[in-house]
């Protein structure tokens, strides 16, 4: 079985996912596997540095002493990473928006809306389409693409600039 993440529990008060459809097991892309392996190594260094102060809780993402991360610390760390991305204003982003990016990138790459909805745990496509999917290339290209196809075998007109 390839490396995977099992989404069967939630941070909700009951510990359950929002709906039964939200429960799913997803294969991890090779890039994520590499990053998580490097993260495991850096966490081992933190564990060693913390010594007896380390509280082993089996968390993939933990504080410098092994405890749960709180939301403010996650947002702060997220924005530190974003500060290194040219053209991105870190204060305008939250970790939740990575879900919108995931949906939008998959949609732009041609994955069907039904499959994307299944991946994010939605029972249908309406929420995925209306709330999460943002058009990455908002320029309507169909007319230009059709015209290029129609005239592709004809000589290019001279450039009169």
| Top-confidence residue, 133 or 56 | 56
Q: Is the pLDDT of residue 136 over 90?
A: no
- Does the model's pTM come out above 0.85? no
Where do the H-state alpha helices sit in the chain?
30-50, 71-82, 97-108, 113-120, 126-127, 142-150
Could you tell me how far CA 145 lies from the centroid of its own chain? Answer: 30
Please tell me the distance from the alpha carbon of residue 161 to that of residue 158, in angstroms, as a whole number.
9
- For the chain, which residues make up each domain, given as ranges? 1-69, 95-155
The answer, yes or no, to whether residue 50 has pLDDT greater than 90, is yes
Separation between Cα atoms, residue 99 and residue 136, nearest integer Å: 14
Q: Which residue has the higher pLDDT, 122 or 20?
A: 122
């Amino acid at each position: 079985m390839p490396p995977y993440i099992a989404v069967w529990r939630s941070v909700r008060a009951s510990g359950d996912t929002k709906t039964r459809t939200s429960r799913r097991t997803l294969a991890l892309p090779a890039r994520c596997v590499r990053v998580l392996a490097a993260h495991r190594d850096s966490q081992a260094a933190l564990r060693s540095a913390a010594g007896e102060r380390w509280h082993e809780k089996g968390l993939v993402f933990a504080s410098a002493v092994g405890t749960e991360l709180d939301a403010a610390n996650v947002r702060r760390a997220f924005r530190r990473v974003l500060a290194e991305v040219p053209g991105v204003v870190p204060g305008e982003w939250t970790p939740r928006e990575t879900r919108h990016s995931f949906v939008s990138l998959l949609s732009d790459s041609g994955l069907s809306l039904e499959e994307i909805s299944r991946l994010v745990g939605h029972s249908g496509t309406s929420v995925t389409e209306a709330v999460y999917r943002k058009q990455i290339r908002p320029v309507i290209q169909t007319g230009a693409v059709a015209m290029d196809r129609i005239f592709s075998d004809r000589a290019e007109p001279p450039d009169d600039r």
